[in-house]
């Protein structure tokens, strides 16, 4: 009887350890990168684990948008992103 209990105890410990590793891999490989990607406003592809930046169709085709407000908002967002990338960070205060 004791051998059976010891064997079952070992089997359950191995299953628990495998489940813990699987949860850790999921968190590090899919959940955390998805949260970072979506926080930036990009699109997350869970199958290939790619963070893609959406490109408006007007940028590809060169056509203007029919909605004037949407076009202004898209241009303002693009200008803000370009300014954020070119502006160096402020020096740290001691």
**Tens digit of each residue's pLDDT (9 = 90 or more) over 31-63:** 999 999 999 988 999 889 899 988 877 778 877
CA distance 78 to 91: 25
User: Residue 5: which domain range?
Assistant: 1-53
Contact 64, 58 (CB under 8 A): yes
Same domain, 4 and 21: yes
**Which percentage of the chain shows pLDDT scores above 90?**
39
Same domain, 45 and 62: no
- Read off the pLDDT band of 8 (50, 70, 90): very high
* CA-to-CA dists, residue 30 to 16, 27, 38, 63, 92, angstroms: 21, 6, 12, 36, 33
CA distance 48 to 60: 24
Same domain, 18 and 42: yes
- For the chain, how many structural domains are there in total? 2
Same domain, 58 and 48: no
């Amino acid at each position: 009887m004791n051998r059976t209990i010891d064997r079952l105890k070992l089997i359950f410990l191995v299953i628990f350890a495998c489940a813990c590793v699987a949860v850790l891999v999921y968190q590090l490989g899919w959940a955390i990168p998805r949260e970072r990607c979506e926080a930036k406003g990009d699109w997350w592809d869970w199958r290939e684990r790619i963070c893609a930046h959406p490109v408006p169709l007007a940028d590809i085709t060169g056509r203007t948008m029919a909605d004037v407000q949407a076009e202004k908002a898209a241009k303002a967002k693009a200008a803000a992103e370009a300014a954020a990338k070119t502006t160096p960070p402020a020096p740290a205060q001691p």
